[in-house]
Copies of this chain bind each other. A is one copy, B any other.
Amino acid sequence: MFSFKVIAESGTTRARAGLLQTAHGAVETPVFMPVGTLGTVKSLSPEELFDCEVGIILGNTYHLYLRPGCEVIRRFSGLHNFMHWDGAILTDSGGFQVFSLAKLRTITEEGVTFQSHIDGSQHVLTPEKAIEIQICLGSDIMMCLDECIQYPVDRDNAKGALELTTRWAARCKQIWQEHSDSSGALFGIVQGGMFKDLRAMSADALLENDFSGYAVGGLSVGEPKDLMFEIADFTLPRLPDAKPKYIMGTGTPADLIELVALGADMFDCVLPTRNARNGQMFTKSGTMNIYNSRFKDDPEPVEAGCRCYTCQNYSKAYLRHLYMAKELLAYRLNTIHNIHFYISLMKRVRKAICKDRFSEFRKAFYAQRESE
């Protein structure tokens, strides 16, 4: 069921437009995937996601494994049915959260032992288990378990982690072939920190397993932005062009445009959703804080011409009022706008690529921000 094809390429950059086919619909790339950590994109209903033209969301294996747990989701034949979402779902492997949220980690060849950040209970996550959980979740695109390293880290540690990640990836591929019906997709994750030779080593080794797609992990972990782009620029061309390329956990609207220019197809990030809940709204001219007192009686929408439900029906003054009063509707209306902004940005990027006008689009994107 899973397939990917490149539809159009930019003449002057590595930007490309593609089509991902999943068991839960076709997804046009470049694509932004809103984060639905616990079986819900915080504050939104699935219908609102569809209204924002979201085609694929990300679910967090670590969080869903701990709550509500696989035995519950299995009763619903997977996450789609449990959460009433009929679009595609990509699940991460749980690796990133084990290394960022959980406590008392012990890493061995076998896997990682950790304590739940919720109740301190002890769990073991192995490559096999990460895949089994994702199969239980009914994920359309699964990710291999990887060892996530911090920034900065020395070369030896980065090398050790990528080598373990590579061995784990092979085990993930094997169990995925044995236990899933293989109609979905399994992506490998390139690691290697900020060392180009290690990134090359990681990419080359992963390719031997012929994954459905490839992700670049370990970016946006605190490194300078230039370095992130340098590593992405180095790594992306080393991944096969016939496969989707996914930059994990990034980024701002400008980051996405730059990474598209470097050849990335897929993105996820908590920025539009988390920042919405903190009152920060994304617009073509930059970000604005909705709680700013200058919006106190501003009758205009967050962004003139924006077609999202929030901008079509509510003023900045009303949104500011809701936010100041900590009303639940505030988080939802802000989130709708930001998700719509990210999705619409990717749609405009794609259209530009298809018309071979990506470079012009990119220039116009920055010009619009500077003009305000």
A187 on the B face (CB < 8 A): no
What per-residue 1/0 map shows which CB atoms of A320-334 lie under 8 Å from chain B? 111011011101100
Q: Which of A65-98 contact B (CB under 8 A)?
A: 67-68, 71-72, 75-76, 82-84
A16 to chain B, nearest CB (A): 35
Which residues of chain B are within 8 angstroms of A327 by Cβ–Cβ distance? 38, 40, 42
Q: Which residues of A contact B (CB under 8 A)?
A: 38-40, 42-45, 67-68, 71-72, 75-76, 82-84, 296-297, 299, 313-315, 317-318, 320-322, 324-325, 327-329, 331-332
Contact B68 A315 (CB under 8 A): no
Which residues of chain B are within 8 angstroms of A331 by Cβ–Cβ distance? 328
Contact B314 A72 (CB under 8 A): no
Complex Cα–Cα for A299 and B75 (A): 8
Which of B44, B72, B76 lies in contact with A329, CB distance below 8 A? B44
Contact B82 A317 (CB under 8 A): yes
Contact B325 A328 (CB under 8 A): no
Complex Cα–Cα for A364 and B318 (A): 44
Nearest CB in chain B to that of A67: its residue: B325
A50 to chain B, nearest CB (A): 13
Contact B40 A322 (CB under 8 A): yes
Query: What are 5 sample pairs from A and B whose C-beta atoms fall under 8 A apart?
Result: A45-B332, A68-B297, A68-B320, A72-B321, A328-B331
Contact B328 A83 (CB under 8 A): no
Which of B42, B84, B314, B328 lies in contact with A84, CB distance below 8 A? B314
Which of B68, B75, B324, B328 lies in contact with A328, CB distance below 8 A? B328
A59 to chain B, nearest CB (A): 13
Complex Cα–Cα for A82 and B297 (A): 10
Nearest CB in chain B to that of A322: its residue: B40
Which residues of chain B are within 8 angstroms of A322 by Cβ–Cβ distance? 38-40
Contact B318 A83 (CB under 8 A): yes
Interface centre among A67, A75, A331 (most CB of B within 10 A): A75
Which residues of chain B are within 8 angstroms of A328 by Cβ–Cβ distance? 40, 42-43, 328, 331-332
Which residues of chain B are within 8 angstroms of A329 by Cβ–Cβ distance? 40, 42-45
Contact B332 A71 (CB under 8 A): no
Contact A317 B68 (CB under 8 A): yes
Complex Cα–Cα for A45 and B310 (A): 10
Complex Cα–Cα for A74 and B134 (A): 53
A299 to chain B, nearest CB (A): 6
Complex Cα–Cα for A304 and B315 (A): 39
Which of B44, B67, B296, B313 lies in contact with A324, CB distance below 8 A? B67
Contact B318 A82 (CB under 8 A): yes
A204 to chain B, nearest CB (A): 40
8 additional contacts (CB under 8 A) given A40-B322, A72-B297: A38-B322, A40-B328, A42-B327, A43-B329, A44-B329, A45-B329, A68-B324, A76-B317
5 A-B pairs closest in CB distance: A43-B328, A68-B321, A84-B313, A72-B297, A40-B329
Contact B325 A72 (CB under 8 A): no
Contact A67 B321 (CB under 8 A): yes
Complex Cα–Cα for A292 and B325 (A): 30
A359 to chain B, nearest CB (A): 40
Complex Cα–Cα for A55 and B40 (A): 30
